[in-house]
Structure 1
Amino acid sequence: MTPIESIRLSEKAKLQLITMKRRTGIANWNVICRWAFCLSMQEKSIPPDEVIPADSSIEMSWRTFAGQTDQVYLGMLLVRADRDGIPMEKQALAHYFRLHLHRGISYLTGVHGAEDLTGLLGLASASDGVGM
């Protein structure tokens, strides 16, 4: 059982995802969210702790987010949370996941973000993160 059952994004993240859908041609929110999560996870720093509103209409289950590789994404989250000293409690892990997801979504559309699908692939191959 995963500590994250449902993921509701902020309105800001929704608008950023709309931008990424337009730029890349990727049709599904969950696919872009996977890219975003991985992008944030490759950053060495811990995402800043903040309250992220769940005020958009975008909501997906963990299974929709992670797909058939849900154990891989969960493993990534648990290993990173342990390394960063995050308590292995459901609420703490869910919050930590949301911090990574929203940071990654911001990275995708930020100054060093992707302007198209080729740019998105370039972010994935960057060895040092997003120019951070």
Structure 2
Amino acid sequence: MSLETIRLSKTARDQLVWIKRHTGISHWNVLCRWALAVSLKDPSTPLVREIVTDSNVEMSWRTFAGDHGDIYLALIQQRCVSDGEEPTDKNVANTLLVHLHRGVGYLHGMRDMRSISELIGLAVN
């Protein structure tokens, strides 16, 4: 696994479809950035360590991170260190994957989130 191509599970894809419909945010990469941020905000370690990336949703690192790739990479590397892992390429890629999926699950679980402004409020609070 590497950061070159980010793939999602079928479950995450289905959850993102629901989130897209309810927030009006139409781009996978934008929603995935929010999901990553929400998960990284939670200091606990994600319980799921293995993700089956079996959906047709995939994006390049450049598409996912946009112009802020260095910042996202630094955040993920720091999380590896905080969780007691060496920030190797493999660990960084796995940390991204598990936090991305946990964050999608968090966003999907917030059934009362119906707008972009509520999503922003989530990040600010």
Q: TM-score range by the shorter chain?
A: over 0.9
* More divergent stretch after superposition (44-53 vs 22-31): 44-53
The residue aligned with 2:107 is: 108
The TM-score, its normalising length taken from structure 1, stands at: 0.88
Q: Is the 8 A contact 1:23 1:115 kept in 2?
A: yes
Mapped to 1, the partners of 2:84 and 2:111 lie a distance apart of 28
Moved over 3 A (4+): none
Asked if 1:92 corresponds to 2:115, the answer is no
Q: CA deviation at 1:112?
A: 6.5
Mapped to 1, the partners of 2:28 and 2:42 lie a distance apart of 22
Per the alignment, in what secondary structure is the counterpart of residue 68 of structure 1?
helix
Q: State the AA in 1 paired with 2:77.
A: L
Q: CA deviation at 1:115?
A: 2.9
Any stretches of 5+ residues in structure 1 without a counterpart? 127-132
Per the alignment, in what secondary structure is the counterpart of residue 7 of structure 1?
strand
User: Which is richer in helix?
Assistant: 2
Q: State the AA in 2 paired with 1:57.
A: N
Per the alignment, in what secondary structure is the counterpart of residue 17 of structure 1?
helix
Mapped to 1, the partners of 2:61 and 2:110 lie a distance apart of 29
Q: Count residues in correspondence.
A: 124
Q: Is the 8 A contact 1:86 1:93 kept in 2?
A: no
Q: State the AA in 1 paired with 2:15.
A: Q
The residue aligned with 1:36 is: 35
Asked if 1:52 corresponds to 2:84, the answer is no
Mapped to 1, the partners of 2:5 and 2:75 lie a distance apart of 18
The TM-score, its normalising length taken from structure 2, stands at: 0.92
Per the alignment, in what secondary structure is the counterpart of residue 56 of structure 2?
coil
The residue aligned with 1:70 is: 69
* More divergent stretch after superposition (89-98 vs 67-76): 89-98
Q: State the AA in 1 paired with 2:25.
A: I
Q: State the structure with bigger RCO (CA 8 A, min sep 6), 1 or 2.
A: 2
What do residues 70-110 of structure 1 show as CA deviations (whole Å, max 9, x unaligned)? Answer: 00100111111111111222112211110000000000011
RMSD after superposition: 1.4
Mapped to 1, the partners of 2:41 and 2:122 lie a distance apart of 10
Mapped to 2, the partners of 1:121 and 1:88 lie a distance apart of 29
